[in-house]
Amino acid sequence: MRTLEVRVAEEADRGRFNAHIAQIGGDLLQSFEWGEIKGRTGWEPLRLMVWDKDQVRASISILQRELPLLKSPIFYAPRGPVMDFTDAAALDCLLHRVRELARERGAVMLKIDPPVPKFRGDVAAILSSRGFRHVDKGLAFDGVQPRFVMQLDLSPSEEEILAGMKGKTRYNIRYAERKGVRIKENCTRRDLAVFYQILLETAQRDNFTVRAYPYFELLWDHLVPRGMGKLFMASYQGEYLAGAFLFRLGPIAWYVYGASSNRHRNLMPNYLIQWAMIKWAKRQGCRIYDFRGVSGDLDPESPLYGLYRFKTGFGASLVEYLGEYDLPFRPGLYRLWRKSEPWHKSILKWKESLGSFLKRGD
């Protein structure tokens, strides 16, 4: 007979906590380190593990933060929980403890967005049977995490991966090499500042916002020394042209942030840097290279179609996840949250950006 027990994951459990996530093929956003990073930007991490004797059956890293307008906290488990959802006993054991914590803390809801493919209708049914409500965030990037991602299978050889790319992508990679673009893989923290300046240049050109520099310092300090983050930079004749930040945990590597200068864009440094990261991930034993989000609207006339075109050029395939699910604990406040969500998100984003500045002096 199984005896399941839920325990809070402490510092001593860091290795086992992360090992379970890697074993299941979970996301780095559920890692112990990610909770630490978000803990420096206004969230409180709550980590739970479901044990079956000496085996971990489920884990979840919950981020708690007070809703500024409702004055009550929410629970959010980015890309969590990490488990086999068909293990009903482990799921119910975990949710029972989460509900207890919600009552203790007055939480409005738990939001999850596990990296489970949409074709897993059985998992959707399991979540619904436990009281979760699916939240449709459309086809673009309105969700907290992207519902549509592009993933490249790294099991073939490098030659086979290259051959599986579109001809234009292969040409651009070789063109950059031929023209003398060089990739630096052993980047230092000093390179991070250069990368950030190029990222600001990219944001201004492409009209999007970026987090303050101290946030990227947090990413570096918590992930890079542990081999969970890596910066790549592309240069030409001694001048940096592009950079990209990669996450890695277990069998998966994620391309998270990319930037390119306005200078020498014709040299195609972004293509060569992607190829360098793909090869690096394969050498580390990764099975999947995740290009992260694209729009689910695949109409070539869509303004976001260029992201899909760029990523599919490397041979990546589109994966659609189940999306976001909310488990309400306080129905009345939950309804208010749903109505005021855009305002709350704006305020939380501002507070998180401010917090990344203020807490660097701790």
pLDDT tens for the chain, 362 residues: list them: 678 999 999 999 999 999 999 999 999 999 999 999 999 999 999 999 999 999 999 999 999 999 877 789 999 999 999 999 999 999 999 999 999 999 999 999 999 999 999 999 999 999 999 999 999 877 777 778 999 999 999 999 999 999 999 999 999 999 999 999 999 999 999 999 999 999 999 999 988 889 999 999 999 999 999 999 999 999 999 999 999 999 999 999 999 999 999 999 999 999 999 999 999 999 999 999 999 999 888 889 888 898 999 999 999 999 999 999 999 999 999 998 888 777 666 666 655 555 444 444 44
Looking at the chain, which residues constitute the CATH 3.40.630.30 domain(s)? 4-145+321-361, 148-320
Look up residue 322 and give its two tokens: 């189940």
Q: How far apart are CA 309 and CA 296, in angstroms?
A: 12
The confidence score (pLDDT) of residue 174 equals 97
CATH number for domain 4-145+321-361, candidates 2.30.110.10, 3.30.1370.60, 3.40.630.30, 3.40.50.970: 3.40.630.30
Q: What is the largest CA-CA distance in the chain?
A: 66
349 Cβ neighbours under 8 A, 6+ residues apart? none
Classify residue 209 by burial, with Cβ atoms within 10 Å: 0-12, 13-18, 19+: exposed
Q: Topology of 148-320 in CATH?
A: Aminopeptidase (3.40.630)
pTM comes to 0.92
Q: Read off the amino acid at residue 171.
A: Y
The confidence score (pLDDT) of residue 351 equals 58
The confidence score (pLDDT) of residue 356 equals 44
